[in-house]
Amino acid sequence: MTTVETATGATKTMVLNMGPQHPSTHGVLRVLLELDGETVVRAVPDLGYLHTGIEKSCEDKTYSQAITLTDRMDYLNPLGNNLVYCLAVEKLLGLEIPKRAQYVRVMMVELQRISSHLVWLGTHAIDMGAMSVFLYCFREREEILKIFEMFAGQRMMTSYIRIGGLALEPPAGWRAAVERFLKMMPSRIDDYESLLTGNRIWMGRLQGVGYISPEDAVALSMTGPTLRAAGIPYDNRKMFPYSSYDEFEFDVPTRTESDCFARYMVRVLEMRESLKIVRQAMAKITDSGPVRTEAPGIVPPSREKMKTEMEALIYHFKIFTEGFSPAPGEAFVTVESPRGELGCFIASDGSPKPLRAHFRSPSYINLQALPKLVTGQLISDVVACIGTIDIVLGEVDR
C-alpha cells in the first residue's frame, strides 16, 4: 500500500496485480495497477514472461534456417513475419523477386491480416462479454487456415515465404477455395457489424475509453490501427510500398476519435480493404510462371534440375549445409503487420550467419502507451484498452 496526493487530500491507494495469468491480458502480460477506488492512478506493465531469445538464436543459424523461428514470434501473423524477414535478407542480397511470387505473397499476407483481425475481434468481444461473436469469428478464421493448409501444408506455422520467393507452387484448386472465401466474407463482416457496431453495450464499453491524442501517439511511436484511429494515415503499404503494393488500389481507413471504438472500426474497415486487395491479387497471379528467383547458391534449385545438373546438386547441398554469405552491410525493412509497423533489421559481416537479426515488433512498442491509455480510467476499462492495442505476447517478448 502506498499513499498518493489527490485533489481531496491524501488517500490510500491499493496496488492490484493483474496477470500474468489473466484471461484478458491475451497471454502472459502482467500489469501492476495502482488504484484509487476503481480509478487507475498508475499502471506499470511487466513483460518478458515469454522471452525466448529468438534474436540470439537467429545469430546461431544460417539465413534460411531462421525463417521457422520468425513464424513463432507473432503467432497470429506468421506469414507477415516470414515476409519481413525474407524482404530484409533479399534487400541485403540485392535479389529481385518474380512478380508472380510477389502477388502470391501479397494475397497471403492480406488473408493473414483478415484472420488476425478475426482473432482480435473474437477475443475482444469475449473480453467485453459477447460470447457468440467469438464463435462466428473463429468459424471464418478456420476457412482462412484451410487455405493456408492448402498452400503450405500447415495451418499456422506456415514458413511459406522463403528467401527468393515461395516454398511451393500454389496448389491445384486454390482459386476456387479463395473465391469461395471472398464470396462468403463480406456478408459475414456485415453480420459482425450488426451484432456489435450499433450495440449499446458495445458502444458503452468502448466509446470514449482509452483516448490518446495524435501527438502523443506519434511521440510514443505507436503504429498500425491504433495510430490510424487517431487520424494519422500512416500505413507502410502506402508510405513505403514493398512487394508491389503500389500496384494495388485500396484505402487506408482512419478515424479521428482515437478511442477504443475507433480502433474497432478501423480494424473492421481494414478487413474489407484486405478483401479488395486479395481479389486484385488473384486477378494478377498468372497460372504459370516462376515462384522463385534464379539465384544459384542462394535459392534452392528445383528438384528436376537437381536430378539432371551436377552444379544444381552441389548448390543444393551447399545451401542446406553451409548456407550463403551476403555482402557485409545492414538492411532494415518495415512492413505493415495487422498490429502495426513490423520491422526487421539484419546486419551481415559476410559470414553465412547473421551478425545481428532484430525485429521491431509493433505490439511491444504499442504496449508502451498502455499507461497513458488507462491512467484515470476505471479498472474495467483496462481490459478494453489492452484489448484494442491488440498485443501478441509471443511478439512482445520474442
Partner 1 sequence: MAEQLRAWNPNAIEEVIEFRGETTLVLPRKILRAVAERCRDHAELQFNLITDAVCVDRFPHEPRFEVNYHLVSIPRKDKIRLKVRLAGSDPVVDTLVPIWPGANWLEREVFDLFGIRFAGHPDLRRILLPEDWEGYPLRKDYPVEGFRDVPMMTGFRKSSV
**280 binding partner 1? (CB under 8 A):** no
Cell numbers linked to 190: 456485415
**20 binding partner 1? (CB under 8 A):** no
**149 binding partner 1? (CB under 8 A):** no
Interface with partner 1 (CB under 8 A), residue total 42
Going residue by residue from 116 to 145, which x/- string records binding to partner 1, judged by CB under 8 A?
------------------------------
Torsion angle of C-alpha atoms 121, 122, 125, 127, degrees rounded to 10 = -110
Short-list 227, 225, 201, 200, CA closest to 214: 227
**17 binding partner 1? (CB under 8 A):** no
Q: Phi/psi at 348 (nearest 5 deg)?
A: -115, 145
**Is residue 43 helix, strand or coil?**
strand
Task: Please state the closest distance from residue 49 (CB atom) to partner 1, in A.
Answer: 9
Task: Please state the closest distance from residue 247 (CB atom) to partner 1, in A.
Answer: 18
Task: Please state the closest distance from residue 48 (CB atom) to partner 1, in A.
Answer: 4
**57 binding partner 1? (CB under 8 A):** yes
Tell the residue number behind the cell numbers 543459424, with chain if given. 61
Question: Rounded to whole angstroms, how far apart are CA atoms 341 and 286?
Answer: 30
Question: Rounded to whole angstroms, how far apart are CA atoms 151 and 106?
Answer: 14
Short-list 370, 259, 376, CA closest to 26: 370
Task: Please state the closest distance from residue 109 (CB atom) to partner 1, in A.
Answer: 19
Which of 197, 329, 378, 379 contacts partner 1 by CB under 8 A? Answer: 329
Q: Considering beta carbons, is residue 297 or 329 the nearer one to partner 1? A: 329
**91 binding partner 1? (CB under 8 A):** yes
Going residue by residue from 359 to 378, which x/- string records binding to partner 1, judged by CB under 8 A?
-x---xx-xx----------
Question: Rounded to whole angstroms, how far apart are CA atoms 111 and 104?
Answer: 11
**351 binding partner 1? (CB under 8 A):** no
**395 binding partner 1? (CB under 8 A):** no
Q: What is the CA radius of gyration of the chain?
A: 22
Task: Please state the closest distance from residue 1 (CB atom) to partner 1, in A.
Answer: 22
**28 binding partner 1? (CB under 8 A):** no
Q: Considering beta carbons, is residue 188 or 329 the nearer one to partner 1? A: 329
Q: Considering beta carbons, is residue 190 or 246 the nearer one to partner 1? A: 246
Taking CB under 8 A as the criterion, which residues in 197-256 touch partner 1? 218-223, 232, 234, 239-240
Q: Could you give the angle at the alpha carbon of 109 between the alpha carbons of 148 and 321, nearest 5°?
A: 75
Burial of 59 (0-12, 13-18, 19+ CB in 10 A): middle
Q: Which residues, listed in sequence order, are joined to residue 161 by a DSSP beta bridge?
A: 166
Q: Phi/psi at 12 (nearest 5 deg)?
A: -80, 135
Which of 246, 294, 322, 349 contacts partner 1 by CB under 8 A? Answer: 349
Question: Rounded to whole angstroms, how far apart are CA atoms 123 and 113?
Answer: 15
Tell the residue number behind the cell numbers 479498472, with chain if given. 379
Cell numbers linked to 378: 476505471
Q: Residue numbers of the site for partner 1 (CB under 8 A)?
A: 47-48, 51, 53, 55-57, 59-60, 91-92, 94, 218-223, 232, 234, 239-240, 329-332, 334, 341, 343, 345, 347, 349, 355-356, 358, 360, 364-365, 367-368, 397-398
